[in-house]
Amino acid sequence: MADIYDKFSDKLPGRILEDIKAKEKLEKLTTVELTKVLERVSDEFEKSKVVPGEAVGLVTAESFGESGTQMTLDVFHFAGVSELQVTSGLPRLIELFDARKIPKTPEMEVQILSKYAKDEKMIRKVASKLKELTLQDISTEFSLNLMKGNIEVKLDLTKVKDFGFTLDEIEKTLKEKLKKVNVRKLTYGFVFEAPEGVFELTELHKVKEKVKEVVVRGIAGITQVLPVKVGSKTIVKCAGSNVKDVLAMEEVDSKNVTSNNLFEILDSLGIEAARQTLINEGLSIIEGQGLDVDVRHMLLLADLMTNTGTLKGITRGGIAGEKGSVLARASFETPIPHIINASISGEVDELKSVIENVMVNQPVPMGTGLPNLVFGVEKKTKELKTEDKKENKEKIKK
Amino acid sequence: MKKQPITKKIGAIKFSLFSPSEIKKMSVAKIITPELYDREGYPVDGGLMDIRLGVIDPGLRCKTCSQKLKQCPGHFGYVDLARPVIHIEFIKHILRFLRSSCAECGRVLASEEKSEKFFKELESVEKNKTIKDKLTLIRKFTNTLKTITKCPHCNAKQQKVTLEKPVTILVDGKRITPIEIRSRLEKITDDDLKIFGLNSKDARPEWMVMNILPVPPVTIRPSITLQSGERSEDDITHKIGDIVRINQRLFENINAGAPEIIIEDLWDLLQYHVTTFFNNSVAQMPVARHRSGQPLKTLTERIKSKEGRFRHNLAGKRVNFSSRTVISPDPKIKFNEVGIPVAVAQELTIPERVNEWNKDWLKTLIARGPAGYPGANYLIDLDGKKKKITDESVEMILEELDFGHIVERHILEGDVCIFNRQPSLHRMSIMGHKIKILPGKSFRINPAVCTPYGADFDGDEMNLHIPQTPEARAEVELLLDVGNHIISPKNGFNIVGSTHDAITGNYLLTKKLVFTKEDAIRLLASIGVYSGADFGDTVSGKEIFSELLPNDLDFVGYAKEFTDDSDDPDHIVKIKQGKLISGVIDKATIGEDNGRLVRSIYSKYDRETALGIMNNMFKLGLSTLLYRGFTSSVSDTDLPDSITSKNTKLLNEATGKVDDLIESFNKNKLESLPGNTVEETLEIRIVEVLNKVRNKIGKQVSDSIKENSTIIMANSGARGNFLNVAQMSACVGQQSMKGKRIVGGYKGRTLSTFKKGDLSPLSRGFISKGYKKGMGPTEYFFGAMTGRDGLMDTALRTPKSGYLYRRLANSLQDIRIFSDLTVRGADNEIVQFVYGEDGLDVSQSEGGTINVDRIIKEIRGR
């Protein structure tokens, strides 16, 4: 049976072959039938292939553009807990296509290795290791001593105990994270002093704000966690995202970490991962709205946004601003700067894309505007000319 | 015969700066006076409306090219400026040049090695990357030069150059005049200019400080004559008038040796006028206004934004041979036809060249003239002269008519046209139709093509275009026709299919109707498909439906009501050799968006046949309803008293449960769900209870109502669903906003009739009655709230999604499949090696793939 497939392996794409293989087992096809099926499928596939000249880009734009008008503006979608809101619908789609540096609601899904997720207690422990805990969260008072030029922090000792800290541990992390400040331990908290002399008043405020935000435990940026069981897997849904630090944790199954922050994925896992994230996110938004757009459109858009190795948004600063043609750029947004810059560097617009040809009333290089007829022009015109002259002369004589 | 002019193709457009000498060379007049007309109203020589600059009055001839109005393209003039001024749009570039070049020797503040290295980098970027990358690289490099304080070439100390917005440049805090700026810019060598990305042939920095100003031709700034006979000049004419006036005064003062202060003031004023001539919305520059206080629209404003030259005139074109009117439905015409009123048909024409074979026919058309139908409106003779056909001219035209003339004849039945409805969101918004001439004053379309256009008949208007060339008509017939757009390229499902009554009709027909032989034949004949099939005395609906199908069609599919455990044979639609063996036809088989039978037919037969079958199905559905009659009435939603009381009981129970929940919450006995506060838990539990009761009521309603017209519509998928029925007859249900029950309004309560902190279903938007019985005042209010919320959502969403669409279309419009089947953009950059990773065209697929199941069934079936 396998050699039958081999014959068609270059005629049919893998996706369809897999489909047939599955159906073959299910329907218990005979060899004869299978060959027939494969022949018919490859016939139909050949007929259904895209043709050169097809404006696939515009079809993609239309598919998303038209679907966009049917989406809701409702910004939030709850994932069980009210803090775990996720932007959805049109606002999220716009954000995604813009390739914004930070999404409005960053979010991660982290799978925990099974050996660290044997029971509730273990899971909760891992989850708490993920959730960011700042000094502010476990203290009751930050007081500035203007005379001494230092900051005194009173800790909420019951909370400290609840979270399973000892003061020494906290002191250690504080010392690690605050290099330019001296940390002194008290029985009820800490004193932060300048390494030499005293802090100036303005400086004191800055240091205070900095000290407040020091992460004493967990991963910076992750503000809320919610462990859920999906089948046999344990997944922690997180509000906030910090891919780099999460991947470094030993409890985390690093192969099953997702984030909706494209740039974090790009930085830590590379452009291919960012492209896949883009595709997944895009499809899930469309699906979440109960709409149906083919994968191919999402693939094309994702490929366009990532094909240079960096993430480019569908904005005037991204793809639309990087076109080779001056007129195409000018017709989109901010025409004046584009024309000015083009004129001083003597740019030439070769009228290769659609919009410029529309401007000068010429056929666009797409679809039926592409084919040309080639014939021997010179020969024909010469013959015609002599004939014409003869005719003219005769006419004049008459 | 008149020779067709040789049309040239524009190969490329180059952008560069005008040098002062070029401006002088292209100019035909020197403008020396701000006056426009003399006492006789004739344009003054050397004035702004000088007839050497072109003509805007009918009858006059241009002094430069001796052509008449509309033939003369207009010619530039110039103004000699008494003192140079800065061109505002280049101010940033001028600043860049001054900062990165030496004040003494004019060389770029980079050593030879440094610039050498930069050039190499620039070269590689130019080759491999986009223009944007090149500009950023140049900007980066020139920025590093800003801070250099000593010239590496002549060792001169460099002063700091700053810009005092909008147009004043300071060196070391002191103002320098445009003359000084110009002389500094002149010193920069041609070689050094390359560092800034300039080519000395295209642009020299000193050209950005202008000592000569081009005056645009009058043809781009025509004056309009008001009804009173007064002339009103264009904004640009006004502005140049200001410039010339100040310029003359400046000249006079300089020649008279006026004090420096006065000259400087006038110079600044000149700078102001020239600046606002180019751009009247510069930050920190007062806006130049009309006497009425309305801002002048100068050059930049003409180009910019949606109403500017680019987006309004260049990217958007106006067309002739088009028509627009209200649309109305006509289910009797074909999917790919459009009904056109005679009045419209007499106005729209097709050019037809006279030849041996059509001469007599065209003569009859001309004889009928524009008032008859079918007639003709114009004749274009061998010289290309257009003659209107009127009662007076018709005889002469008929006599002169010869081969090679072009007759603009009325459109006829069977001609093709392009039909469109805005907003044109996808390619199915503009499709090709065949013309059908009908009485009336509206365009008629088959209701089945409402879906692709997004049209309804509540006053919608649509546009119609008549293609004028054979090439265009061929494209319309072969590519644009409705038959080619049955499958949406968005997801590979059919966007055209039977709708509403057509579905109901086919459903009834195939489910239970039985006809006498005569009635069956009458029904089929009424839609024009009876081909003399042999019927028995009684004919079932299934047999009639089978008459539409080709004899070699095999199909297996499921009806809409099919569930995994249903054993009703009517839930499985089986067609064998063109005979409907079992199953009812409904939305799942012939409806829009994944009607399986439509898909099967579409992929098996050619477009014409497939469209014909779909057409017949549609008509059969309607004819069936006409034969049988179909009425939905209010009593369809009547419930037996027993059910009504059961529903009330269910509602009371639910209210009781909610009360219990609230009470246990008040007593702090409610246990919170994981990850939620107690308040949130209460809310979740209440919503749960209310949803449950609504579903229960819905179930009861659907179980108790006997099959009637309303239910038939829901069952067949023609319109509505059981939820709607339940809402009408029993209970509307919870109104929600932002995914929550209604909150807010007054403090702690939604409306002033309720007590503060009331969490009961009634006070939070639960409507316990049905639409038929009617809602209470508060319930009605909550219903109105969600209704308004929906309206707002639509109103706010439209511009947002519209902008997203514009950006997407602009970024993706150049991407197409190349001959090697790779996907590339306009700059030849590869986006995908194979489209969609398999090269399958979605609009030729079945839901994005090849339907292997169908193929297996077809092979097995044989």
Overall average pLDDT of the B56-79 stretch:
83
Pairwise CB contact (< 8 Å): A304 & B90: no
Most confident of B278-287, B338-347, B565-574, B656-665: B338-347
Are the C-beta atoms of B378 and B390 separated by less than 8 Å?
Answer: no
- What is the reported pLDDT for A75? 61
CATH of domain A133-217: 3.30.1360.140
Q: Is the pLDDT of residue B700 over 50?
A: yes
User: Which among A299, A330, A352 is the nearest to B826, CB-wise?
Assistant: A352
Q: Is the pLDDT of residue A334 over 90?
A: no
Flag whether residue A327 sits within 8 Å of chain B, measured between CB atoms: yes
Instruction: Quickly list DSSP for B564-597.
Output: TT---GGGEEEEETTEEEE----HHHHBSSS-HH
Which positions in chain A touch B199 (Cβ < 8 Å)?
345-346
Task: Determine the distance in angstroms separating the CA of A247 from the nearest CA of chain B, rounded to an integer.
Answer: 25
Higher pLDDT pick, B727 / A153: B727
Euclidean distance between the first and the last CA atom of chain A, given in angstroms as a whole number = 84
Are the C-beta atoms of B732 and B770 separated by less than 8 Å?
Answer: yes
Pairwise CB contact (< 8 Å): A301 & B812: yes
Q: Thinking of the domain B500-628, which architecture would CATH place it in?
A: Orthogonal Bundle (1.10)
Round the average pLDDT of chain B to a whole number and report it.
Answer: 88
Q: Is the pLDDT of residue A98 over 80?
A: yes
* Domain chopping of chain B, boundaries: 322-485, 500-628, 634-780, 816-861
Q: Is the pLDDT of residue B262 over 60?
A: yes
Residues within 8 A of B (CB atoms), A 10-39 only: 13-16, 19-20, 23, 27, 29, 33, 36-37
- What is the reported pLDDT for B600? 85
Overall average pLDDT of the B781-799 stretch:
90
- What is the reported pLDDT for B861? 65
CA-based nearest residue in chain B for residue A62: B426
Task: Determine the distance in angstroms separating the CA of A236 from the nearest CA of chain B, rounded to an integer.
Answer: 13
Per-residue model confidence as pLDDT tens digits over B441-494: 999 999 999 999 999 999 999 999 999 999 999 999 999 999 999 999 998 899
Topology of the domain comprising B634-780 = Topoisomerase I; Chain A, domain 4 (1.10.132)
Q: How many residues does chain B have?
A: 862
Q: Is the pLDDT of residue A369 over 90?
A: no
- What is the reported pLDDT for B132? 73
In which band, very low, low, confident or very high, does the pLDDT at B738 lie, cut at 50, 70 and 90? confident
Q: Thinking of the domain B322-485, which architecture would CATH place it in?
A: Beta Barrel (2.40)
Question: For chain B, what percent of residues have pLDDT higher than 70?
Answer: 99
Q: Is the pLDDT of residue A17 over 70?
A: yes
Flag whether residue A66 sits within 8 Å of chain B, measured between CB atoms: yes
Pairwise CB contact (< 8 Å): B831 & A331: no
User: What is the phi-psi region of residue A240: left when phi exceeds 0, alpha when psi lies from -120 to 50, beta otherwise?
Assistant: left
* Domain chopping of chain A, boundaries: 2-47, 133-217, 320-364
Flag whether residue A373 sits within 8 Å of chain B, measured between CB atoms: no
Higher pLDDT pick, A203 / A283: A283
Overall average pLDDT of the B425-442 stretch:
95
In which band, very low, low, confident or very high, does the pLDDT at A148 lie, cut at 50, 70 and 90? confident
- What is the reported pLDDT for B203? 87
Pairwise CB contact (< 8 Å): A362 & B10: yes
Q: Is the pLDDT of residue B784 over 50?
A: yes
Are the C-beta atoms of B367 and B394 separated by less than 8 Å?
Answer: yes
Pairwise CB contact (< 8 Å): A73 & B830: no
In which band, very low, low, confident or very high, does the pLDDT at A77 lie, cut at 50, 70 and 90? low
Q: Supply B272's token pair.
A: 């102001």
Q: Is the pLDDT of residue A92 over 70?
A: yes
Which positions in chain A touch B827 (Cβ < 8 Å)?
323-324, 352
In which band, very low, low, confident or very high, does the pLDDT at B55 lie, cut at 50, 70 and 90? confident
Pairwise CB contact (< 8 Å): B427 & A54: no
Instruction: Quickly list DSSP for B383-429.
Output: T--EEE--TTTHHHHHHH--TT-EEEEEP-TT-EEEEE-SS--SGGG
- What is the reported pLDDT for B139? 81
Q: Is the pLDDT of residue B92 over 50?
A: yes
Q: Supply A354's token pair.
A: 């659609």
Task: Determine the distance in angstroms separating the CA of B10 from the nearest CA of chain A, rounded to an integer.
Answer: 8
Distance between CA atoms of B307 and B301, rounded to whole angstroms? 9
In which band, very low, low, confident or very high, does the pLDDT at A63 lie, cut at 50, 70 and 90? very high
Flag whether residue A283 sits within 8 Å of chain B, measured between CB atoms: no
Q: Is the pLDDT of residue B304 over 90?
A: no
Q: In this predicted structure, which of A164-173, B196-205, B813-822 has the lowest mean pLDDT?
A: A164-173
Which positions in chain A touch B790 (Cβ < 8 Å)?
none
Overall average pLDDT of the B671-678 stretch:
76
Q: Is the pLDDT of residue B862 over 70?
A: no
Other CB atoms within 10 Å distance of the CB of residue B801: 23
Distance between CA atoms of B296 and B309, rounded to whole angstroms? 16
In which band, very low, low, confident or very high, does the pLDDT at A398 lie, cut at 50, 70 and 90? very low
In which band, very low, low, confident or very high, does the pLDDT at B325 lie, cut at 50, 70 and 90? very high
Which CATH code of 3.40.50.720, 3.40.50.300, 1.10.150.390, 3.30.465.10 fits the domain covering A320-364?
A: 1.10.150.390
In which band, very low, low, confident or very high, does the pLDDT at A390 lie, cut at 50, 70 and 90? low
Pairwise CB contact (< 8 Å): B856 & A293: no
- What is the reported pLDDT for A156? 81
Pairwise CB contact (< 8 Å): A346 & B479: no
Pairwise CB contact (< 8 Å): A336 & B300: yes
Q: At what angle do helices B235-255 and B260-278 cross, to 10 degrees?
A: 160
Which positions in chain B touch A73 (Cβ < 8 Å)?
793, 796-797, 800
Which positions in chain A touch B819 (Cβ < 8 Å)?
52
Residue of B304, B816, B831, B833 to mutate for A, most A C-beta atoms under 10 A:
B816
In which band, very low, low, confident or very high, does the pLDDT at B672 lie, cut at 50, 70 and 90? confident
Question: For chain B, what percent of residues have pLDDT higher than 90?
Answer: 37
Task: Determine the distance in angstroms separating the CA of B13 from the nearest CA of chain A, rounded to an integer.
Answer: 5
Overall average pLDDT of the A104-118 stretch:
87
Q: Is the pLDDT of residue B138 over 70?
A: yes
User: Which among A80, A297, A360 is the nearest to B10, CB-wise?
Assistant: A360
Which positions in chain B touch A373 (Cβ < 8 Å)?
none
What are the two backbone dihedrals, phi and then psi, of residue A96, each rounded to the nearest 5 degrees? -70, -45
Per-residue model confidence as pLDDT tens digits over B352-382: 999 999 999 999 999 999 998 899 999 998 8
Q: Is the pLDDT of residue A274 over 90?
A: yes
Residue of A24, A49, A308 to mutate for B, most B C-beta atoms under 10 A:
A49
Higher pLDDT pick, B56 / A255: A255
Pairwise CB contact (< 8 Å): A339 & B15: yes
**b/e map of A137-150 (b: 16 or more CB within 10 Å)?**
bbbeebebeeeebb
Q: Is the pLDDT of residue B6 over 70?
A: no
Pairwise CB contact (< 8 Å): A354 & B813: yes
- What is the reported pLDDT for A82? 58
Per-residue model confidence as pLDDT tens digits over A207-233: 788 888 888 788 888 888 888 888 888
The one-character DSSP state at B8 is P
Most confident of A282-286, B241-245, B463-467: B463-467
Which positions in chain A touch B821 (Cβ < 8 Å)?
49-50, 52
Higher pLDDT pick, B711 / B139: B711
- What is the reported pLDDT for B1? 46
Per-residue model confidence as pLDDT tens digits over B574-583: 888 888 988 8
Pairwise CB contact (< 8 Å): A50 & B817: yes
Pairwise CB contact (< 8 Å): A343 & B808: no
Overall average pLDDT of the A184-200 stretch:
77
Round the average pLDDT of chain A to a whole number and report it.
Answer: 83
Which positions in chain A touch B817 (Cβ < 8 Å)?
50-54, 56
User: Which among B807, B809, B816 is the nearest to A54, CB-wise?
Assistant: B816
Overall average pLDDT of the B221-247 stretch:
86
